[in-house]
Amino acid sequence: MGSTVLSLRIDGELLDRLRQHAARRGMSVQDYVVRTLVRDDFDERFHAAVDETEKFYGADTRHPDPADQVT
């Protein structure tokens, strides 16, 4: 898989916050942003797969929340 350049125009305050987040993790801003986007993309694909599984089985397959149980 190749790479492509993506140019963004962002607010200075946001860039400062991104620099701080990246520095805490010992990363460049570019690596931090890419990692964040990859994680978000994974989350979306995971939730879509869960939704498709629930549709396939025709039921809610998630485990119930123990806080919802009445004792």
pLDDT confidence bin for 36, thresholds 50/70/90: very high
Please give the average per-residue pLDDT across 16-34, as a whole number. Answer: 96
Q: What is the pLDDT of residue 6?
A: 87
Please give the average per-residue pLDDT across 27-39, as a whole number. Answer: 95
Structure tokens of 31?
A: 């690596």
The distance between the two most distant Cα atoms of the chain, rounded to a whole number of Å, is: 56
pLDDT confidence bin for 22, thresholds 50/70/90: very high
Q: What is the pLDDT of residue 67?
A: 66
d(Cα 51, Cα 54) in Å, to the nearest integer?
5
